[in-house]
Amino acid sequence: TNTGILRYAQNDTAQRFFSNLLSLPQGHPMPKVRVRFAPSPTGYVHVGNARTALFNWLFARHHGGVFALRIEDTDVERSKEEYERQLLEDLRWFGLDWDEGPDKGGPYGPYRQSERRALYSEYAAKLIAQGDAYYCFCSAEQLEAERQEELKAGRQPRYSGRCRKLDAEEAARRKTAGEPAAVRLKILESSFFWNDLVHGPTVFSSEVIGDPILVRSEGNPAYNYAVVIDDHQMEITHVIRGDDHISNTPRQLAVYRALGWEPPEFAHLSTILGADRTRLSKRHGATSMESFREMGILPEALRNYLALLGWSPADGKTEILSPSELVAQFSLDHITKSPAVFDNDKLHWLNRHY
């Protein structure tokens, strides 16, 4: 069928594109796509997150890959079971099914970060032992005072690296004696580079990055650390997420480097703006999945609408795409890096169609 040929052609192009990128010999099969949606259960699912989930799902389904759901609940104070329940319900209503996740398990589980603490401690210990991380005894007050100093001097605040200079044995003794200590990564590189699948070649100078915290003094792993351990261990091939995470990527690349792991591909999706061109938020009215459902928006309409928020099919003009057309045509090549403006009228127009 035409769709069959189209799908084959797109797969072929995609394979060539990725094998060039990974410098694999031509004709080498693309590694099986594994992507994840990794929400934090700290509130109701916002359209921005729904679009991230949708793009990951479309990419996985287009390539016959795996879509995993991972719950990032290391922020114990803000994470709630109720939000996790609602999240799963919203995704099901939205029509996205996952192959691995907290409710169904899978070969790389557990799929809740709160249940993966042993893994985070293990690698933190390894990084300290190999000299790539160190204990930091600076108190919150000390750090805040330093921050204020930097701001006053008109500099971008970053950790001074005071505890990096401590003798490792002495630091280990203090830690064993019960002194509260965070674990920090030593940033050794002067800059970070990756070829973003949406933004193209991206470079960050380390000057803006202090040694990042991997594990906080009370034992909670930091997002930038846990995410790397999990993405690597779950064999994620493509990290597709909002561009609010672009500045986190260099910190994550530093963790990959320290552990000697190959980073995945990164694709950072543009910000969604309201009609007034400011970041879409509650001020703009309904932005949670739940509120759209209550408003009578159909999941097919929302899926079609959100797919077009930053992506367009190869012909650049088709607006009505059935679920199977979306899967057949989806490709990271046609994602725009400019911010997408949320258009309620268009959503309602699509809803009337469905």
Residue-level length of the chain: 354
CB 35 within 8 A of CB 65: yes
Report the nearest approach of ligand GLU to the CB of residue 242 (Å): 7
Q: Give least dist CB 319 to ligand GLU, A.
A: 28
Nearer to ligand GLU, 38 or 302 (CB): 38
Looking at the Cβ atoms of 114 and 160, the one nearer to ligand GLU is: 114
Contact criterion met (CB below 8 Å) for 50 and 205: no
Q: Are 353 and 301 in contact (CB under 8 A)?
A: yes
Helix (H) / strand (E) element for 238: namely: strand 238-242
Nearer to ligand GLU, 121 or 248 (CB): 248
Cis before 110? omega within 30: yes
Q: How far is CA 15 from CA 21, 309, 343, in A?
A: 10, 25, 34
Residue closer to ligand GLU, measured from CB, 84 or 300:
84
Give min distance, CB of 222 to ligand GLU, in A: 12
Residue 189 to residues 209, 253, 350: CA-CA distances in angstroms? 10, 10, 49
Kind of pairing between the strands at 133-136 and 200-205: unpaired
Closest Cα partner for 240 from 56, 111, 62? 56
Catalytic residue chosen out of the listed positions 104, 126, 282, 337 = 282
Closest CB to ligand GLU among residues 96, 328:
96
Contacts for 166 with CB less than 8 Å, ≥ 6 apart: 134, 135, 137
Please state, in angstroms and rounded to a whole number, the distance separating the CA atoms of residues 182 and 306.
Answer: 40
Residue number, 19 or 202, with CB nearest to ligand GLU: 202
Q: How far is the CB of 49 from ligand GLU (least distance, A)?
A: 7
Q: Kindly state the smallest distance separating residue 245's Cβ from ligand GLU, in Å.
A: 5
Q: Is 282 a catalytic residue?
A: yes
Using CA atoms, how far apart are residues 196 and 265, in angstroms rounded to an integer?
Answer: 7
Interacting residues with ligand GLU (CB under 6 A): 38-40, 72, 227, 241, 245
> Which sign does the torsion angle of CA 266, 134, 261, 68 carry?
negative
Q: How far is the CB of 52 from ligand GLU (least distance, A)?
A: 7
**CA-CA distance, 69 to 85, in Å (whole number)?**
13
Catalytic residue positions?
282
